[in-house]
Amino acid sequence: EYLGWANLGFTANITNITAGAKLGLRHLYKVTPLFWERSGSPKSPLRLRADYKEQWEAMRPTLVELYRNGSIVGFVLGDELVWMGLDWEVIETAANLIRHDFPGSIIWMNEASGVVGGKCNHFHVCYNFTHVPKAISWFSLDRYWTTALHKDHANRLRENYEKHLIPKLDKNQSIVLVPGGFASKYNKKCNSECYEEFCSRDAM
């Protein structure tokens, strides 16, 4: 559905990955269901699955074939994993396992900017963010804008990366920019045109 304006997607849906490959669209495979689960209710913290190795081994032959034929070029660890309750150690465990089996692949993780900047996560647990796990190739931050445009918008976004993230990257790691806008006509403070401007400023 995003063919024509995107050249890379991410999903755990093999059918979509295969269909995309036939049209020239490559993917990152989303490993979330293989490694992470809720510790209780649907709103409880995430945790590393006890059977993550078995889940990974069961899926690995399919992933090897998709990687060999170019349908996937890497993996997505997940979105805001620390914010949702995981600690950096278990994230590194998962990333290292993937890196071991796919040494040349892209491994991407997106995280909430607050926990990288020293704030606590959604469950009021605080972690000392010292470095991006070395097995991760790409790292990005969420900083969503829910109010009208202001003059410090781009500077505050840049500060997140320059102060809290870039100094903790290895020389072989890259940052990915996630535009901080929800395109919605229901936000009274910032409509879709306002968010389009946000995305443009993010890119600049």
- pLDDT for position 54: 98
CB atoms within 10 A of CB 68: 9
pLDDT tens per residue, range 97-145: 999 999 999 999 999 988 988 889 999 999 888 999 999 999 998 877 6
- pLDDT for position 55: 98
Distance CA 161, CA 175 (A): 8
CB atoms within 10 A of CB 2: 10
- pLDDT for position 31: 98
For residue 94, count CB atoms less than 10 angstroms from its CB and return exposed for 0-12, middle for 13-18, buried for 19 or more: buried
pLDDT tens per residue, range 14-42: 999 999 999 899 999 999 999 999 998 98
The pTM of the full predicted model, rounded to 2 decimals, is 0.88
- pLDDT for position 157: 75
Which tokens go with 113?
């900017």
pLDDT tens per residue, range 36-70: 999 989 899 999 999 999 999 999 999 999 999 99
Q: 3-state secondary structure string, 98-112?
A: HHHHCCCCEEEEEEE
Answer whether 91's CB lies under 8 Å from 115's CB.
no
